[in-house]
């Protein structure tokens, strides 16, 4: 056995260009990863902070779980409190809530592609490829032309938050009964102008054509023939590096449904297990604590607790709990949403029934395009003379759930109110699903499974294949453990 | 001229101050770095370097092989459990972040606490604070924190507290600009060591609801147009920040967005001992009075202005949109 093929162990971290801190232990044998152990190394304890508080205070506290999924956290809390009060927002309140939420999710998808993900292809290790010069010019970390333009486009898009939600992140405008600012005629047309400018930016840069023509892609062949825009560059790299097979996750997908207006989600809720569509039932969700530094039993979030194991016992290796649906791991995110919603391109991107690096990246680009079209519709439909918020009276006792889809996937809040105070607040975030540690059966989480078999080149300290796979999930570590 | 170096670390926070920083416009973050001679050695969201490449950089700084001018720290410092700091071990290093902080901070010319978590403990230290989170040099209002009250960075200043939850992007960038051209002095920091250029303003200054405030025409519920001080917990008349004169994400601010100022630039804002969106009162008088205002005068003026509230303001204050517009005069204004 040569030195390069002797089994070895790598501790990868700090893993940057993800939100928050991340460490991955890799067991490597020969030229591939044999096993991966994902550690979320930061514990803050938001669920404990919330206990004992007035339920209304959740709306101030939960957005601060995460600076990148802040509105998603607000939406989940507002839904839970709305369920407790037995109300939902008037339709125009739903339109504005959906708009605010979609703007955050679009900003996150943009940040992922331009700042977090593409920079890795500008690394020196790829200097032999024909595309390396162009990719470096566009995507080199900090200096790339496209990186810098994307930051400006993102800032402009987020001025919608300034107009309608006061600021971003950490707005208090999203409430159980709707939103705290009734837009006037002028807000409406300005939002339309900002959204149209964002459309132009995406069309000129990301897809190099009309958003509608990208949305219309419906087969693997049509996608592979797409050479325009930055996504075309990515697809070329994807072909050269075989990213359509890299990082297969679990062949099971979940979505809680995104952007609800008048009882209908823009991207529908549901499951897709081994190619079979299924109906979501959140009673089948549990969190397993066997390999996390948490004390307690496997339980449904309504019965769950968050008691950190201060001894940090040896059998465990992460602060992250291990959520399971029907005892199984699932993958969540933009790709899962598009698969479950039925976009024809999504199933064409599966490889052996699993998502992969290419599928996840294309899923986000597709969703960016679809979301712009939806936002333009919501803005146009805003009726400025109507109601945007209904009064909410939070009862002294309730046990309720608040679900939504963050950029990175399914986010759920499970809230118990007793004697007018928060008696229990359990949060299961998208990356909690994707980056969970092993469960009591020893079954690895979605990312842990996706990393098995990743190729390792001689002398690589943090294998590039591993970096692509990890970042393809767009992990948010601060949400993961919270 | 040698570029000044910046290292940015994140710990017990949400990353929102970085996300907010990326919202800076004219100039944006990159322009400020380029044009003020600043080199970002490493930032977790922006840099190419991962894992061993980062650890090598940290070791170089610790060994004096690399000069560190500005250390930015975002998020609370995690001291728990039991003072080990193990609630945040910096990934890949097997060392608590608090140990890295204590090694790096004395080597920097300036240390900047970015956000209220890093400055004072912030939201992460709320409730029972089971993680024993604190700020770099404060624990709430109590001086000390992770580095101790006596700490001074290389250039002689204590930790600069760019507090806010999140920070306005330009609070961070203007601090950078002043550090880059060496114009930020000790007297430019307020008693809580926040840069005076934004902390010497009150959120009330420039509040678009000020006519309602003047006449004590109050909103009863969120989203109504009136002043939010009397009923909805707004402390903009006491909170330090220029949020309503420089605006957020283009044209926004909390009060313009229809919800109260919660004093997020201050220590212990996270535990107001009341509901965030409800004003505590004794009788009909809010407990928290506008900064520097004598209580007797406030009560006298408030009752007088309430009696004098024009109908237009009274009607609009409890409405979600303008019901009655200001009247238009039929002769030139005098």
Write down the domain spans for chain B. Answer: 4-199, 202-321
Q: Do A49 and B123 touch (CB under 8 A)?
A: yes
Q: Which of A156, A170, A181 sits opposite B16 (nearest CB)?
A: A170
Q: Are A183 and A96 in contact (CB under 8 A)?
A: yes
State residue A5's pLDDT score. 61
Residue with tokens 């001689």: A458
pLDDT of A1? 40
Residue A253 has pLDDT above 70, yes or no: yes
- How high does pLDDT run on average in chain A? 97
CATH tag, B4-199: 3.40.50.700
Tokens of B127: 């409730």
Residues in chain A closer than 8 A to B88 (CB atoms)? 21, 41-43
Q: What is the least distance, in Å, from the CA of A277 to any CA of chain B?
A: 35
Q: Which residue of B has its CA nearest to A60?
A: B276
Cα nearest neighbour of A185 on chain B: B321
Give the pLDDT of residue B1: 76
Chain A CB contacts of B54 below 8 Å: 14, 16
- Number of structural domains, chain A? 1
Structure tokens at A179: 């939103």
Chain B CB contacts of A143 under 8 Å are: 30
Q: How confident is the model at residue A471 (pLDDT cuts 50, 70, 90)?
A: very high
Taking residue B107's Cβ as centre, other Cβ atoms within 10 Å add up to 18
Say which residues have a Cβ less than 8 Å from residue A152's Cβ, sequence separation at least 6: B25, B28
Contacts of B135 (CB under 8 A, 6+ apart): B76, B77, B113, B117, B118, B119, B120, B121, B122, B145, B146, B161, B267
Question: Is residue A31 within 8 Å of A455, Cβ to Cβ?
Answer: yes
Taking residues A342-352, report their average pLDDT. 98
Do B88 and A170 count as a contact with CB atoms less than 8 A apart?
no
Structure tokens at B305: 């202005």
Q: What is the mean pLDDT of residues A305-329?
A: 98
Candidates A17, A171, A384; nearest CB to B45: A17
pLDDT tens-digit series, residues A15-42: 999 999 999 999 999 999 999 999 999 9
CATH number at residue A330: 1.10.645.10
- What is the domain range of residue A142? 3-481
Minimal CA separation from B128 to chain A, in Å: 7
Going by CATH, does the domain composed of B202-321 fall within 1.10.3720.10? Answer: no
Q: Which residues of B touch A59 (CB under 8 A)?
A: 276-277
d(CA A238, CA A218): 18
Q: Check B259 against A182: CB less than 8 A apart.
A: no
Contacts with A178 from chain B: Cβ below 8 Å? 223
Interchain CB contact of A272 with B (< 8 Å): no
The residue ranges of chain B whose pLDDT is under 50 are none
The model's confidence at residue A2, banded by pLDDT at 50, 70 and 90, is very low
Q: Do the beta carbons of residue A289 and residue A297 sit within 8 Å?
A: yes
This prediction has a pTM of 0.98
Q: A199 vs A105, A156, A368, A382, A390, CA distance in Å?
A: 15, 12, 9, 19, 32
Pick A459 or A90 by higher pLDDT.
A90
In this prediction, residue A6 has a pLDDT band, given cuts at 50, 70 and 90, of confident
- Residues 6+ positions from A4 with CB-CB distance below 8 Å: A31, A458, A459
How near does any CA of chain A get to the CA of B116, in Å?
Answer: 11
Q: What are phi and psi of B312, to 5 degrees?
A: -55, -45
Question: What pLDDT is stored for residue A461 in this prediction?
Answer: 86
CA pair distance B10, B60, nearest whole angstrom? 19
| B321: nearest CB among A43, A115, A182 | A182
Q: Are B125 and B173 in contact (CB under 8 A)?
A: no
A64 and B16 in contact by Cβ < 8 A? yes
Interface test with B, best of A96, A119, A166, A465 (most B CBs within 10 A): A166
The predicted model gives A80-104 an average pLDDT of: 98
């Amino acid at each position: 056995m040569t030195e390069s093929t002797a089994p070895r162990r790598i501790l990868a971290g700090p893993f940057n260009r993800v939100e928050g801190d991340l460490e991955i232990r890799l067991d490597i044998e020969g030229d591939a990863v044999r096993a991966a152990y994902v550690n979320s190394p930061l514990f803050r304890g938001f669920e404990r902070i919330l206990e004992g508080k007035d339920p209304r205070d959740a709306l101030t506290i939960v957005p601060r779980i995460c600076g990148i999924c802040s509105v998603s956290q607000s939406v989940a809390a507002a839904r839970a409190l709305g369920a407790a009060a037995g109300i939902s927002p008037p339709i125009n309140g739903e339109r504005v809530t959906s708009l605010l939420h979609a703007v955050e999710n679009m900003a996150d998808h943009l940040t992922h592609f331009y700042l977090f993900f593409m920079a890795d292809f500008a690394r020196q290790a790829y200097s032999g490829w024909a595309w390396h010069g162009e990719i470096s010019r566009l995507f080199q970390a900090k200096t790339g032309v496209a990186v810098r333009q994307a930051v400006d486009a993102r800032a402009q898009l987020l001025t919608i938050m300034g107009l309608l939600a006061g600021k971003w992140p950490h707005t208090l405008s999203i409430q159980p009964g709707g939103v705290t600012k009734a837009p006037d005629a002028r807000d409406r047309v300005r939002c339309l102008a900002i959204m149209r400018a964002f459309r132009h930016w995406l069309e000129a840069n990301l897809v190099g054509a009309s958003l509608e023509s990208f949305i219309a892609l419906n087969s693997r062949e049509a996608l592979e023939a797409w050479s325009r825009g930055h996504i075309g560059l990515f697809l070329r790299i994807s072909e050269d590096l075989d990213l359509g097979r890299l990082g297969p996750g679990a062949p099971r997908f979940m979505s809680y449904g995104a952007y609800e207006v008048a009882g209908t989600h823009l991207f529908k809720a549901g499951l897709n297990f081994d190619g079979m569509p299924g109906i979501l039932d959140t009673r089948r969700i549990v969190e397993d604590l066997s390999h996390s530094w948490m004390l307690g039993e496997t339980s449904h979030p309504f019965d769950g607790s968050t008691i950190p194991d201060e001894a940090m016992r040896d059998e465990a290796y992460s602060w992250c709990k291990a959520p399971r649906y029907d005892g199984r791991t699932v993958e969540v995110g933009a790709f899962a949403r598009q698969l479950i919603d039925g976009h024809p391109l999504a199933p064409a991107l599966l490889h052996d029934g699993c998502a992969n690096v290419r599928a996840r990246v294309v899923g986000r680009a597709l969703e960016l395009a679809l979301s712009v079209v939806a936002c333009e519709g919501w803005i146009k439909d805003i009726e400025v003379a109507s109601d945007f918020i209904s009064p909410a009276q939070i009862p002294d006792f309730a046990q309720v759930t608040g679900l939504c889809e963050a950029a990175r996937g399914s986010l759920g809040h499970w809230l118990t109110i007793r004697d007018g105070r928060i008696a229990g607040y359990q949060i299961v975030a998208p990356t909690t699903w994707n980056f969970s540690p092993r469960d009591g059966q020893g079954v690895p989480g979605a990312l842990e499974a996706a990393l098995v078999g990743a190729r390792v080149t001689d002398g690589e300290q943090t294998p590039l294949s591993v970096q692509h796979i990890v970042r393809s999930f767009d992990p948010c570590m601060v949400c993961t453990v919270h | 001229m040698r570029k000044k170096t910046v290292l940015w670390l994140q710990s017990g926070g949400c990353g929102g101050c970085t996300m907010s920083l990326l919202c800076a416009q004219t100039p944006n973050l990159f322009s400020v770095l380029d044009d003020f001679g600043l080199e970002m050695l490493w930032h977790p969201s922006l840099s190419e370097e991962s894992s061993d490449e980062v650890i090598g950089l940290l070791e170089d700084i610790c060994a004096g092989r690399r000069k560190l001018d500005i250390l930015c720290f975002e998020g609370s410092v995690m001291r728990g459990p039991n003072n080990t700091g193990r609630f945040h071990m910096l990934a890949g290093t097997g060392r608590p972040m608090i140990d890295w902080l204590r090694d790096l901070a004395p080597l920097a010319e300036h240390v900047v606490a970015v956000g209220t978590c890093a400055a004072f403990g912030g939201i992460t230290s709320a409730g029972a604070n089971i993680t024993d989170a604190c700020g770099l040099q404060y624990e709430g209002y109590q001086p000390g924190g992770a580095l101790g009250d006596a700490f001074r960075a290389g250039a002689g200043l204590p930790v600069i507290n760019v507090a806010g939850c999140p920070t306005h992007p330009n609070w961070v960038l203007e601090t950078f600009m002043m550090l880059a051209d060496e114009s930020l002095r000790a007297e430019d920091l307020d008693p809580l060591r926040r840069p005076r250029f934004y902390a010497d303003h009150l959120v009330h200054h420039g509040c678009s609801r000020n006519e309602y405030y003047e006449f004590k025409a109050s909103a009863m519920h969120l989203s109504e147009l009136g002043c939010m001080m009397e009923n909805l917990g707004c402390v903009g008349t006491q909170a330090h920040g220029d949020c309503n004169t420089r605006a957020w994400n283009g044209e926004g601010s909390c009060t313009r967005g229809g919800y109260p100022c919660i004093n997020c630039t201050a220590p212990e804002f996270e535990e107001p001992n009341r509901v965030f969106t409800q004003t505590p009162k004794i009788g009909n008088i809010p407990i928290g009075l506008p900064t520097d205002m004598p209580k007797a005068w406030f009560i006298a003026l408030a009752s007088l202005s309430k009696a004098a509230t024009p109908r237009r303001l009274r009607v609009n204050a409890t409405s979600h949109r303008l019901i009655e517009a200001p009247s238009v005069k039929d002769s030139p204004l005098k």
